[in-house]
Structure 1
Amino acid sequence: MRRLSAAGSQRGFSLLEMLVAFSIMAFSLAMIYRVSGGTARSAGELEHYQQAALLAESVLNLRDTVPPSGWNGRGDSAGFRWEVRSTPFPTPISGPNVPSLHEVSVTVLWSEGTAVKRYDLLTLRPQARPVPGGRLP
């Protein structure tokens, strides 16, 4: 009769090896789900920032010039709140053909979950000049 040694009769994996392999697989899947979920979340945030930038540019394009009294306004659009403000911008150059400048700030706010997100756009715009007859264009 032939006798097999203990080392030669073992086939397959032990229970401990199976548990370790299963744990590694579960951890790897959890990390894959977390990364793909973070990517989807980031894509959604990027879309909101893109919409906010388009809204800020649209508000800015409402006027080519700023009235001498300044430009202040606010509004709502598709879940976004916007506000525009201007302040005179000092320049070292002056003269009859040099327009006065205003620093125009457009701020767009929106809510994402419990956080309030913000997008700011700053630019310079010339002050409107009166046309003959005393009216602004």
Structure 2
Amino acid sequence: MMGRQAAARGFSLLELLVAFAIMAMALGMIYRAVGGAVRNVSTVEERQRVFWLVESVLAQVNGVPEQGLSQEGQAQEFQWSLRTAPYSGGLADPSAPRLHEVLMVVAWSDGGEPRQLEFTTLRPQKTAAAPR
């Protein structure tokens, strides 16, 4: 009778190995999920900074001159370029302002790997000041 009680009290070596294997797989999946979430957060923060840069540059473009714009610059680790071209899909109404398509490209390096985002919008052409 004592032999049966002693055998029923503990775990077998096989049960312990299976439990450790299950725990290792679960920890590995948790590690991957947390690592992916951290990478995603840094990517979102980086893109948010790019959006702020684009907004600040475009806020300075009140109107596009008739000959268009071509600008380049650098802000922190971001290099940007802005080009405009007349927009051909404008309204047929002659009283409507002419539109220019604005293309802004922002490039940077992310851990040695080049990254780039392109933004396109429309801006009205500057009207000539009326003579006084």
User: Which band: TM-score by shorter chain?
Assistant: 0.7 to 0.9
Give the partner amino acid of 1:103: E
CA distance in 2, matches of 1:44, 1:105: 26
- Structure 1's consecutive aligned runs of 4 or more residues displaced over 4 angstroms after TM superposition are none
Percent of paired sites with the same residue: 40
**Shift of the alpha carbon at 1:132?**
3.3
Which of the numbers 11, 14, 17 marks the counterpart of 1:13?
A: 11
State which drifts further: 84-93 or 114-123.
114-123
State which drifts further: 50-59 or 108-117.
108-117
Which of the numbers 97, 100, 103 marks the counterpart of 1:99?
A: 97
Which of the numbers 46, 49, 61 marks the counterpart of 1:48?
A: 46
CA contact (8 A) 1:53 1:119 kept: no
If the length of structure 1 is used for normalisation, what is the TM-score?
A: 0.84
1:41-86 deviation digits (Å, cap 9, x = unpaired): 1000000111101101111111110011111111110111111111
Q: Secondary structure at the match of 1:93?
A: coil
Correspondence 1:37 to 2:35: yes
Give the partner amino acid of 2:16: M
**Shift of the alpha carbon at 1:120?**
2.1
CA contact (8 A) 1:105 1:121 kept: yes
CA distance in 1, matches of 2:91, 2:27: 62
CA contact (8 A) 1:65 1:126 kept: yes
CA distance in 1, matches of 2:125, 2:2: 99
Q: Secondary structure at the match of 2:84?
A: strand
**Shift of the alpha carbon at 1:109?**
1.4
Q: Secondary structure at the match of 1:35?
A: helix
Query: Which residue of 2 is the match for residue 63 of structure 1?
Result: 61
Gaps of 5+ in 1: none
If the length of structure 2 is used for normalisation, what is the TM-score?
A: 0.87
Give the partner amino acid of 2:92: I
Matches within 5 A, 1:54-133: 54-90=52-88, 91-95=90-94, 97-133=95-131
Q: Secondary structure at the match of 2:129?
A: coil
Q: Secondary structure at the match of 1:65?
A: coil
Greater helix share, structure number: 2
Which one has the largest radius of gyration? 1
**Shift of the alpha carbon at 1:118?**
2.2
CA distance in 2, matches of 1:42, 1:103: 31
